[in-house]
Structures are given as C-alpha cells and as structure tokens.
A and B are shown apart, each in its own frame.
Chain A
Amino acid sequence: MPDAAPSSTISVSLTLNGRAVTVEVPVIERLLDTLRYQLNLPGTKEGCGEGECGACTVYLDGLPVCACLVPTFQANGRDVRTIEAIAPESLKPMLESGATQCGACTPGVVMTACWAREHPEILKTHTMRELMAGNLCRCTGYDGIIDGMEKMIPGASALRAGRDTRQKDRHP
C-alpha cells in the first residue's frame, strides 16, 4: 500500500465525552492516536494495535469498539466516549475486588464492564467471562475483574445463574 503523504489531512467533527470537538487529522490516523496525542486523552491505552487485547476500548455511538481499529474520519458526526467519561466513584467495587494490578489493560476492562452495567440484559445471554474475553489482562487472572463486576452490576449474579452451565459443571 503506498504511503499517504503526511500533509493530507481531513477535518473531523465528533461529540467527545458530551462535548463537540473538531480536529484536523491525517486521513490514515487511528482514533486511538487522535484521542491520545491530539485530544490529550491518554487514558485510552494501546496494547496490541490490532483489536485483540481491548485495552483501547471506547464507545462509538454507545457501542464498545477498539479505538485502534477505527480510522478517525469514521468518527465524523458520531458520539465517542472514553474512559475519562466514567464516574470514578462508581468503580469502587472494582478497586476493592482487585480488578486492577498494573493498570495497562484496566481502562479497556472498565469500559467493557461499565457497558455491561448499562446493559445488564446482556448477562442473560452471555457469561461475564464470555463478555470480558475481548479484554486481555496479564496480571489479575481475571477473577478480581469478574468479582468487581458482580459487585458493581446490580443483580448480576441472578442474571448469570441461568446461563453459566460450564460453571455449574465445574462445581456440581
């Protein structure tokens, strides 16, 4: 693929964490880089750059996506929310359960976990472990994360019980 000339830029207007923002970006720039290096929102992390680890999870029109896979121009006219928009006090259960260690995967983990909190009906069809499988964590072994989510999402255990057959198999 021929390299685009660095001078070719495009103007992108989006709603970022509730505020209207316009940025001038190279046409090939990733939303992840625009957020981190242009818009001073480095809370969103890069882990793999190819949509495997989920560290760069943001909401695009309310859906969790990997910001490393979204060209910034595709965010034009859309609503983007980042980790900086999450209310810190709501994360206390995650803190208490040991959901974060090194913290590099954590903003992405929190974005997915908070999305589940806003859409608890997803837990009728998916286990939390299935839901979190797009967020790689190398420190916690995941239990601290799952534990925190169970405490953070009202009624999570009840929603989960009907679906998690593997868990049942494990501890009959």
Chain B
Amino acid sequence: MTRLEGLAKLTGAERYVDDLPADAGLGLGPCLWGMTVRSPAPRGRIKDIRFGSGVDWNSGFTVVHHRDIPGPNIVYLIEHDQPVLAGTYTRHIHEAVLLIAHEDREMVRRAVREVQVIVDPDEPALDFKAQPTPAQLQVGPDNILKHLTINKGDVESALRSAPHIIEGVYETGAQEHVYIECNGMIGWVDPQGVVCVKGSMQCPYYVLNALKHPLDRDASQVRVIQTPTGGGFGGKEDYPSIIALHAALLAMKAGRPVKMIYDRAEDMQATTKRHPALIRHRTGVDSRGRLLAQQIDVLMDAGAYVTLSPVVLSRGIIHAAGPYFCENVRIDGKATLTNSVPYGAFRGFGAPQTIFACERHMDVIADRLGLDPIEFRRINLIQDGQTTATGQVIKPHPPAKGTDRIALMDRALAESNWRDKQHRHAAFNATHTHLRRGLGLATFWHGAGFTGSGEVYLNSKVHVAGLPDGRVEVRIASTEMGQGTTTIMTQIAADRLGLPRHQVTVATPDTTTCPNSGPTVASRTAMVVGGLVEKACDDLARRLSLEGPKPGSHVTTAIKFWHKANKGELLGQSTYEPPPGVKWDESTYKGDAYGTYGWAAYVAEVEVDLRTYQTRVLDLVAAQEVGNIINPTLARGQIQGGVVQAIGWALMEEFVWKNGAMANSQLTNYIIPTSDDVPLIRVVFIENPYPHGGKGAKGIGELPMDGPAPAIANAIASALRDMRIQPNRLPITAERLMESIEQSSAQEPAHA
C-alpha cells in the first residue's frame, strides 16, 4: 500500500500550518503574525526591557509579558523549572522574554528588533565536561540534575581479577533535527471561549497538558489540533508546548487568531537538540575475549532546564552496555545543568550516544587484545536466557521464535561482502597514494516503546468508530509526521476488520475528538498504538455481534444497521495493558526495561582521503529484526532516512558555539547530508512477528539512528589502522581527523 497522503505531498496540495489561508479557515478574521523577543545573554537578571522608537507602538501591536500569564509561569513537563516567558531571570541565550503580534509581518519583525532586553550577567556554565565553579552553581552542590545507576554483580572485584582492563573515553556532539518544516502554531479563542491551537507537533496531549495550567483552564477549555507535520525526529515532542503557549497567550490578549512561524535561524537557535555526551568505559576482559566487567560512566549536557533529560539519560544508560552478556555491570549516569539552550528529545533519545561509545569501545578492546572484532562480538552477544545490565532475561515471545543475534550479524557481514572486501582493502590501502578504505561493524539494540513502567503510566486509549455511512474511523492522538502513521493505522484497522482499505480513515488528531493514545515518540506507534487499534477493532466487532477474526463486508452493513437502530456514537475502544510478565523496578533500575527490543547489525564501508581528510561512506548495510514489516516501502524509508541522519551526526553535523548560542544556525554552515554525500543504504529485514505489537510490529524508527555512527567510526579506525587513529569523538569532521592524524604522526618517534 502506498502512502495515503503521498500524492498530496508530491503535488504540494498538503496544507501545513503556514499553508493555511490568512484566516486559517477559522472565520475569525486574518491571523496576526506573532514573534518572540529573546534573551541576549546565557545567564543573568533581566534588569529592563526597552522599547525603541523605530516603530509606533500604538499602531495595533499586541505585546505579551510574563505578567500576562493568567496561571503559573511554568512549562509543565517532568519538572516545573522552565518558565513560559522569562520574568526576572534568564537561564539561556535565546530564551523567550516577550511576545509581539501585529497584522503586518514586516512590522512585527521590526518591532522585535526595536526591543532591547537588558541583562545583568551572571557567570554561565557552558562546558558540561568541566566542574562548575562556585559562581556557576545553579542546582545543588554540582549542577547535576539527575543521577541514575544500574548495578549488576560485583564490578569492583571482577575488575580486580580481570586479566585485561581496557579503558576508553568517547564523546558525541549536539545535533539539530533539521525537520524541513520549522516549528509553527496558530492560537485562537473560539466563540465558546475555548483556547485552541493548531500546528506542527508530535504529541497533542503534551501540548494540552502544557496549556492548561499557565492559561488557568481545565482540559475542557483547551483544544489542540495537529496540522500535517513536516518532520519531527523528537524536535516536535516537547518544544511545540512552548510555541503553543506563546501563540495562545498572544491570541488571548489580542482577541484575534495569532500565527507564529519560526524561520530556520530561530528554529535552530531556540529549540531543543540532541544531548551532547561524554562516556567512559572501563572493561575487564579475559584472555579469550569474554567480557568480565563493564564500568560505564555517562555524562550528558541537559542544558538550562530539565525538559526530558531524566528520561533521555535513562534510555541512554539502559542501552550503554550494549547487546552483550556480562555478569558484572555498573553504569553511572548523570545529566548536568548548563546554560545552553535546553536539549530535548531526538530520535534514539540518549541511546545513540551510549551505543556509539559501546560499539566503538568493543572495537578498541578487540584491537587491544588482537582479536577480530567480529569474533569478539560473536563471543559476547547476548543469547536467549541471558540477562541484560538491568537483569532482564532476554527470551523469545511465543509463539514467535527467539532472535538469533549472531545470525543477524552474519547476515549483515555476508551482505556487505566483509571478508572479500577486507582483503581488497588491504591491497588497495597498501598501494594507493592518498585513499584509505576500511570496514566497520556495529551490533546493537533499541528498546521499543516507553522505558520501564512508562507505557503503564501513559495508559493509552484508542477509539475505532463505526460511522453512519458504514466506514470506520481510527481515532488516535498519534501523529503523522512523515513516518507513516496514517497509512500503517489504516492497514492495521482494515486488515483486522477484513475491510477494503478505502473503507477506513484515520481522524486528524484533535484533543476534542481523539482519545489520548500517548505521545508519538519512542518507536511506540505501530507497536503499541497499532496493537491498541487492533483491540479496538475487535471491540467494535464485538459491539456489532460479529465474531471471528475477519468479519469482512458484514462490518460495513452491520455499522449502517447499528446507526439505523441506535442513536449516538458507535465506538470500539481499547486501553493499554502490558504484555504478561513484564516487571520493572524504578527505584533499583532492575527488571524488564522494555517489553521487547529491536536488534540490528550494521556494516559501514568508508574511504578516507588523506589530502582532504574527508570521509566518504561507500556502502552501508543495515540488517535488523524489528518484528513483522507492515509496509515494506515505509519501513525501508524509515531505516534509510534514519541511517542518513546518523551519517550526518557521525561525519558532518557540527555545532559552533558562541557564548552559549548556536553560531552556525543556518543550513549554509550547519551541514546535513545531501543525496550526493551518501550511498544507497542497503536494508535487510529479518522478520519475526512480535505477538504484542500491531500486526506483529516492533519499534523501528529510532534503531537506524543508533548503529551508523559507531560502524563508520570503526571503519575509519580500520582504514587508518597504520596511523593508530582513534576516532572516538563525533562528529568526525575533516578538521578533527586532520588534527588526530597530525598528532599521531608527531607522536610516532616517541613510540618508536
């Protein structure tokens, strides 16, 4: 089945938030244009706000100040530390201070330039790796916002007796999402007095919850509608709550609908990014290459507010030890406050950082012990019946068979022609004047759905409605942002009810009509929400007294008949129930961290040019087991797109910081991969239906973000083996590679 809204997108007919007519179809007059005045300093007391004389402030401007917020000045997420608008103090540069709206877009742009925010600066903490000075302390004794540990066995004594101890330090940089549609939102107050927003977002109910308190309204007085969303990748998980609050506040004060559309620079400067991380490994290994003990320290930069950092850290540390069996594991994770723009959700959610460190470290260990990295992984890959760092027993999900992670690795190796290429690279590297080629492998995993008890707390709900004309409508708050929710849910519902697919529609996510099926994050939509759609379909069939798995065309007739005989809505409903036997202890970080995992083995082949120090990915094989594949074209697209985003993170996407601000907030100098920078991404799926997922699916969306960076770094290390280059810091730009090659050749005499 092809993407349902695909033709509308190809022809430009799809209407994103900024494509709506001037009145946004609301009939309340043309929208005003809203913009944000931002903090010029990373930390300090806001002394004054000065309004310049370059515009006539009495010519129809609406200005919103923090004192205009009717309820608490708080963005409600995990903690309550982030203000909707900075009042007397700012904790990061580009923090929102003031909102301005006007009917003329050019006038509002000018007005923003006319406002001066005067800050009495305090010393900002801008380097998350450095111990904060007393003047930089803002939270507790050390600016640590969250500290989590995982303990298994006895790491200290295992390390004491280990024949080999191998250490490594790994660092990953920030990453900007670069969804092609920037953040945008329209706010208005409807004739009944309900405050409404519609715009680009992943999680309508996060926005609803965020609106309620600061606007001092209960859920029935607030409405959130998603517009077609031009990419999210986590960047529209938590941030849309802020822009929605801003648009709503302006609309409430102006008495007119207000549209806020960020341009690229504002979107890059002011919204969340991937957490930078510093990860240390200290690993005990026996002489045959068996892992004896893993001590892993993870430090993440949270930025100026808590946002989602505790859960990003949580997912990060749970994945930090990799898909390997080891009796003794200690993982120590910290998220530290700095005065950077807050970091937030980004595809992979902490796991890509720790998986990069782990998979790079596995190659470092193998190299140090003189082992083949493949054989080293073959010895240590976790097998069914063995336990993870949290003590979770990895086991098959009957009636499905278990996952053979070694076979998966072998498949990726075979597909990449590993052995043959290794020989050819050796010959090539020995003779070529300036090009070096190498292969790198990463074997990894990604927990599907919310961590631990998260899915239970979410308590997701789904409705499947039978409409009077006999069609079926899926009502979920899970959003389409390019990953294929609309198409997949149509397939799932149609197949479950035995209906032709044109008889099924998926409703626009709207908090007044769609129940809270949870946020569209964490690779959970097809698996968790898809499973709930199946159950709601079964419930609908039951209400129509249709038994059996595929009632087929009887469904349409029965729905029409029901509406003739009854009044009101015909709704099949379902609520999340955890798969049997899943146990998680939040206080000890022990148990089943995830109901299931996606498993993968990726191979990268690179070519390094020693004249330019540039690395080119020549080939990338991505093999994974993610349950059943519901839609091969969409699934392949998820993997290929994720891999290319990860290639960007690995090789080119570098932040330039200036006083806490992103200095390269343009696509001219924040470089993402083009079609000519990447090869065809070769995708292999090993299908193994997961009985608790929609149509047998497991999570898929984040997995491809995890593996490419370490596979590429390992390939570079292999290509430059003679130079002993350790590409342990992302991104591996030409400049960084040049520095390490120059350092390595400068040190050579000392080694000799």
Report chain B residues within 8 Å CB of A133.
674-677
Q: A45-B181, A53-B180, A138-B180 are in contact. Are A104 and B13 (CB under 8 A)?
A: no
Interface readout for A130-150 with B: 1 if CB under 8 Å, 0 if not?
Answer: 101111111111111110000
Report chain B residues within 8 Å CB of A36.
18-19
> B483 an interface residue at 8 Å Cβ cutoff?
yes
Of the listed stretches A71-79, A87-95, A116-124, A153-161, chain B binds: A87-95
CA distance in complex: A104, B681 (Å): 22
Q: Restricting to B603-652, which residues have a CB under 8 Å from any CB of A? A: 605, 618-619, 633-634, 636-637, 639-645
Of the listed stretches B227-235, B349-357, B522-530, B590-598, chain A binds: B227-235
Of the listed stretches B103-111, B394-402, B459-467, B576-584, chain A binds: B103-111
A32 smallest CB distance to B (angstroms) = 11
Please indicate which of the listed interface residues B8, B18, B181, B674 has the most CB atoms of chain A within 10 Å of its own CB: B674
Report chain B residues within 8 Å CB of A82.
12
Please state if B637 and A140 are interface contacts (CB–CB under 8 Å). Answer: yes
A141: nearest chain-B partner, CB-CB: B640
A8 smallest CB distance to B (angstroms) = 11
CA distance in complex: A102, B106 (Å): 29
Please state if A53 and B676 are interface contacts (CB–CB under 8 Å). Answer: no
Please indicate which of the listed interface residues A53, A91, A134, A141 has the most CB atoms of chain B within 10 Å of its own CB: A141
Q: Restricting to B1-48, which residues have a CB under 8 Å from any CB of A? A: 2-3, 5-16, 18-19, 21-22
Q: Which of B21, B22, B482, B676 is the one whose CB lies under 8 Å from A130?
A: B676
Q: Restricting to A1-18, which residues have a CB under 8 Å from any CB of B? A: 3, 6
Please state if B637 and A44 are interface contacts (CB–CB under 8 Å). Answer: no
Of the listed stretches B85-93, B445-453, B664-672, chain A binds: B664-672
Report chain A residues within 8 Å CB of B637.
98, 101, 139-141, 144
Q: A103-B482, A104-B181, A133-B674 are in contact. Are A88 and B618 (CB under 8 A)?
A: no
Interface readout for B166-187 with A: 1 if CB under 8 Å, 0 if not?
Answer: 0000000000011111100000
Q: A83-B11, A88-B10, A138-B645 are in contact. Are A145 and B619 (CB under 8 A)?
A: no
CA distance in complex: A48, B642 (Å): 21
Count residues on chain B whose CB falls below 8 Å from chain A CBs: 66
Q: A102-B181, A104-B231 are in contact. Are A96 and B11 (CB under 8 A)?
A: no
> B379 an interface residue at 8 Å Cβ cutoff?
no
Count residues on chain A whose CB falls below 8 Å from chain B CBs: 61
> B264 an interface residue at 8 Å Cβ cutoff?
yes
Q: A45-B181, A139-B482 are in contact. Are A104 and B666 (CB under 8 A)?
A: no
Please state if A102 and B481 are interface contacts (CB–CB under 8 Å). Answer: yes
Mind listing 23 A-B residue pairs with CB under 8 Å?
A6-B104, A42-B12, A43-B19, A46-B182, A48-B666, A48-B668, A52-B668, A83-B11, A84-B12, A95-B2, A95-B3, A100-B3, A101-B641, A102-B180, A106-B10, A132-B675, A133-B676, A136-B178, A138-B179, A140-B637, A142-B644, A144-B640, A170-B618
Interface residues of B (CB under 8 A from A): 2-3, 5-16, 18-19, 21-22, 104, 106-107, 110, 177-182, 228-233, 263-264, 481-484, 605, 618-619, 633-634, 636-637, 639-645, 666-668, 672, 674-681
Known contacts A43-B13, A82-B12, A102-B179; 6 additional CB pairs below 8 A are: A36-B19, A48-B668, A94-B10, A102-B231, A136-B178, A145-B675
Interface residues of A (CB under 8 A from B): 3, 6, 26, 36-37, 40, 42-50, 52-53, 55, 82-84, 86, 88, 91, 94-107, 110, 127-130, 132-146, 169-171
